[in-house]
Amino acid sequence: MFRKMGLPSRSESLPFVYILRCRDGSFYTGAAKNLLARVRKHEAGTASRYTRARLPVALVWSRRVRTWGKALREEHRIKQLKRRAKEALVASGGSRA
């Protein structure tokens, strides 16, 4: 029904939590409503100072969540993890874009 009206479907509007691997091997965690557009901004150096200084970046993990609030909470939770835990999360999969 949404597609007929030219609106995004419910699943297309669900936000993502994502992890990028930077040139120096560090991880950057973020949340986005449009994952592809956000990754492109990171690649262009216009999304954050952190990633701009560490280009190129690669999307290594992403997960779709139900609400923006859950995306922000999950982003915060992942940012609190130690590096080994983030590596394990990336290795476990998740959705890859």
Residue 2 has pLDDT above 70, yes or no: no
22 within 8 A of 57, measured Cβ to Cβ: yes
d(CA 41, CA 91): 25
Mean of the per-residue pLDDT values for the chain?
89
Residue 13 has pLDDT above 90, yes or no: no
**Regarding the domain with residue range 3-92, which homologous superfamily does it belong to in the CATH classification?**
GIY-YIG endonuclease (3.40.1440.10)
- Phi and psi at 96, nearest 5°, equal -110, 130
pLDDT of residue 43: 97
Q: What is the average pLDDT across 30-44? A: 97
Q: What pTM was computed for the model?
A: 0.84
Domain boundaries, the chain: 3-92
43 within 8 A of 34, measured Cβ to Cβ: no
Q: What is the pLDDT of residues 41-65, one digit of tens each?
A: 999 999 999 999 999 999 999 999 9
Query: Residue 93: which pLDDT band, with cuts at 50, 70 and 90?
Result: confident
